[in-house]
A = this chain, B = another copy of it.
């Protein structure tokens, strides 16, 4: 903040607020000045804010009206001139409200990505939490495998996984879980439907658990029946693409090189045009955060970053295969934080 000569910073993105203040509620603005910080929230969170901020020096202000009005009025009261705000995390209307309340003397500075950049590098405790969140996802998936059989509904399997993860201590699923069988597997974001699993179908499971605010993200694909040779070949190529990405993942490397490593393997197997998304993304307080592991991304990888590696291939009208693990960038390379069996499993 001092480098940018800011008198104040208005933080509106909830995961950033949680990162800076430990407040986990769904309605808050954090106003940071060089000397202090004030969390503005609404009356529903009076008690919770007091509890969660007890170990910080931040003050709590309960606003009766719109939080952005209260934030703007505070900026006015402290005569803040140069004010940073999260331009990528505030709507045009919200910015107008803030503007109006702060007054005309305020000079706004778009101050995006700094907190996200700090969040991208995890400390030991954060890594341990993601590791535990990953272990919950892995164990839940292994637990429900015996239920994956002809006639089982995708949505029932998703329900079993969620239930299992919660019983293992997860505060919830990290996203709408995907259980996509047969041709639905060709939709990379298919969630779980009322479709029943049939004989000789691939089933893609994409699941994650939230633990103490941090997410895990795991994908496994199984075959119900005896997998044909072509399925085995594609599965192996996806696995090799993932391993190539992991070997490319190390400090100092650009994100795009990791993506390219996976892409090269699939291209070599004649499957380049079937890999229709990026190789991965950062993982932490959000399921998608910095850095992206994608074409054209020049982010420089650093020790402590946690990213997913999730190559996949999709055949319209037939099915899909994806394998995804969470990987920690270490001093010398990368290690997986998720340890579920990666080999092709044939069921039923």
**CA–CA, A186 to B48, complex, Å?**
9
On whether the beta carbons of B155 and A187 are closer than 8 Å, the reply is: no
If A88-B91, A162-B162 touch, whether A194 touches B167 (CB-CB below 8 Å) is no
On whether the beta carbons of A172 and B167 are closer than 8 Å, the reply is: no
Write the A157-185 contact mask toward B (1 if CB under 8 angstroms, else 0).
01110110011010110001000000000
Distance in Å: Cβ of A262 to nearest Cβ of chain B: 16
If A186-B47, A187-B47, A189-B44 touch, whether A110 touches B92 (CB-CB below 8 Å) is yes
Question: In this complex, what residue of B is CB-closest to A87?
Answer: B92
Number of interface residues of A (CB under 8 A): 44
| Of A159, A162, A277, most B-chain CB atoms within 10 Å | A159
**CA–CA, A43 to B26, complex, Å?**
32
Using a CB-CB cutoff of 8 Å, which residues 46-66 of chain A contact chain B? 46-48
**CA–CA, A26 to B277, complex, Å?**
14
Enumerate chain A interface residues (CB-CB to B < 8 A).
25-26, 43-48, 87-96, 110, 112, 155-156, 158-160, 162-163, 166-167, 169, 171-172, 176, 186-192, 194, 276-277, 316
A-B contact pairs, 19 of them (CB 8 A): A26-B189, A43-B277, A46-B316, A47-B186, A47-B187, A47-B316, A48-B189, A87-B91, A87-B92, A88-B92, A88-B94, A90-B92, A92-B110, A155-B169, A158-B166, A159-B163, A159-B166, A162-B163, A169-B194
Q: What are the 6 tightest A-B residue pairs by CB atom distance, in nearest-first order?
A: A159-B166, A163-B163, A88-B93, A87-B92, A44-B188, A43-B276
